[in-house]
């Protein structure tokens, strides 16, 4: 069984007209306990993570987003997971009255998103390191065929929205 207790906070700031920043963080006590091969165990760690999103607007149709994320080390039933951080960058551009959107992304631009796990027991020691090939680049092109928006029904009873119904 595992248990977590902690807190999470978020701060969103519109610093200037062209720059929005969001800072998120969490801090929690993590405990995992049980019985493994007839041997009881209990392990705890103080875990935390943070995320920083910066969005920069260049006019009405172009934006740049820079995202950083960190996760602290943590325990598991038989070992640990090391901490890791990652930095992503994306640029998007809208065309044709926002019907067409082009997005260019670079994920893990610093090649730091490796995941390291260590497990150990009476007769074994296991270390695993997984590092995805990075940075990873992608281009996405999206075309909106119908930008449908629900209309408010201003009927006598003021009930619901047009197009609403049972699911």
Q: What would the pLDDT profile of 80-118 be if each residue is shown by its tens digit? A: 999 999 999 999 999 888 888 999 999 999 989 889 999
DSSP output for 97-158: TTTEEEEEEEESTTS---EEEEEEETTEEEEEEE---SSEEEEEEEE-S----PPBP--TT-
Mean pLDDT over 12-36 rounds to 93
- Choose among 104, 71, 66, 70: nearest CA to 88: 66
Mean pLDDT over the full length of the chain: 87
Residue with tokens 């960190």: 70
Radius of gyration of the chain (CA): 23
Question: Domain limits of the chain?
Answer: 2-139
Cα–Cα distance measured from residue 124 to residue 64, given in angstroms and rounded to the nearest whole number: 47
Task: Say if pTM beats, i.e. exceeds, 0.75.
Answer: no
């Amino acid at each position: 069984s595992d248990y977590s207790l902690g807190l999470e906070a978020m701060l969103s700031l519109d610093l200037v007209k062209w720059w929005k920043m969001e800072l998120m963080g969490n801090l929690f006590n993590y405990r995992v306990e049980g019985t493994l091969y007839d041997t009881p165990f209990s392990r705890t760690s103080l875990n935390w993570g943070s995320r920083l999103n910066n969005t920069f607007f260049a006019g009405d149709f172009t934006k740049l987003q820079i995202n950083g994320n960190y996760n602290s080390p943590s325990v598991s039933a038989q070992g640990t997971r090391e901490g890791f951080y990652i930095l992503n960058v994306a640029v998007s551009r809208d065309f044709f009255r926002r019907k067409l959107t082009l997005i260019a992304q670079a994920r893990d631009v610093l090649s730091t998103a490796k995941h390291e796990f260590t497990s150990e027991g009476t007769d074994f020691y296991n270390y695993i390191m997984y590092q995805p090939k990075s940075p990873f680049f992608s281009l996405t092109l999206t075309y909106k065929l119908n930008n449908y928006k629900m209309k408010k029904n201003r009927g006598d009873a003021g009930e619901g929205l047009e197009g609403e119904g049972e699911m």
